[in-house]
């Protein structure tokens, strides 16, 4: 049974919705800036859910006042990695919090092969399950 047609990656916020438009992204960025969160842009071609550390595209952007600058960077990143996953994260640097507060995907590869379920036979009749991304069978940068 197809539970997720198109195998869309569902990580972070808004991932079950259609892709955000630039205007919608700007609105989200505005919200992050209003809360004084630093916004960073990250990309990867290994979308396994346990792969938490994506590559950073430039430095996280502190002290910004307007979303236009971030949107410019997002578009630069999309241009550089048109077939990677790109996500935007907001980071709350308040002492004692210091953690990401938002994370959503703003760019995805044209074709997402999705994940397969791998079953491993273990002792007795035990079965171990693991999730495997089809894309990672290929070498880095050739995946999508």
Partner 1 sequence: MNENTSDDTPVDLDAAFRDSHIQEVLDKLDRELIGLKPVKTRIRETAALLLVDRLRKGFGLSADAPSLHMCFTGNPGTGKTTVALRMAEILHHLGYVRQGHLVSVTRDDLVGQYIGHTAPKTKEVIKKAMGGVLFIDEAYYLYKPENERDYGAESIEILLQVMENNRDDLVVILAGYKDRMDKFFESNPGMRSRIAHHIDFPDYSPEELCSIAQLMLEKSQYHFSPEAEKIFKDYIVRRMELPHFANARSVRNALDRMRMRQANRLFEKRTSKLTKADLVTIEADDILASRLFNGTDEKKAT
With both helix axes pointing from N to C terminus, report the angle between 22-34 and 67-80 in degrees, rounded to the nearest 10: 130
Of 60 and 113, CB closest to partner 1: 60
**Minimal distance, residue 51 CB to partner 1, in Å:** 26
**Minimal distance, residue 125 CB to partner 1, in Å:** 57
Q: Is 38 in the site for partner 1 (CB under 8 A)?
A: no
Task: State how far the Cα of 89 lies from the Cα of 37, in Å rounded to an integer.
Answer: 9
Q: Is 65 in the site for partner 1 (CB under 8 A)?
A: yes
Q: Is 56 in the site for partner 1 (CB under 8 A)?
A: no
Instruction: Please provide the size of the chain in residues.
Output: 144
**8 Cβ neighbours under 8 A, 6+ residues apart:** 15, 108, 112
Q: Is 73 in the site for partner 1 (CB under 8 A)?
A: yes
Of 47 and 67, CB closest to partner 1: 67
Residue 45 contacts residue 23 (beta carbons within 8 Å): no
**Minimal distance, residue 62 CB to partner 1, in Å:** 9
Task: State how far the Cα of 87 lies from the Cα of 107, in Å rounded to an integer.
Answer: 7
Q: Which residues bind partner 1 (CB under 8 A)?
A: 58-59, 61, 63-70, 72-73
């Amino acid at each position: 049974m197809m539970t997720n047609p198109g195998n869309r990656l569902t990580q972070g916020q808004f991932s079950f919705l259609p892709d955000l438009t630039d205007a919608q992204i700007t609105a989200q960025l505005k919200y992050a800036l209003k809360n004084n969160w630093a916004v960073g842009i990250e990309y990867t071609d290994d979308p396994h859910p346990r792969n938490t550390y994506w590559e950073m595209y430039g430095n996280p952007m502190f002290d910004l006042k307007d979303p236009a600058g971030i949107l410019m960077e997002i578009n630069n990143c999309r241009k550089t990695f048109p077939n990677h996953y790109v996500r935007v994260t907001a980071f709350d640097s308040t002492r004692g919090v210091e953690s990401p507060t938002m994370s959503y995907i703003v760019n995805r590869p044209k074709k997402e092969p999705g994940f397969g379920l791998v079953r491993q036979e273990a002792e007795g009749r035990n079965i171990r399950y693991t999730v495997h991304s089809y894309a990672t069978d290929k070498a880095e940068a050739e995946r999508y």
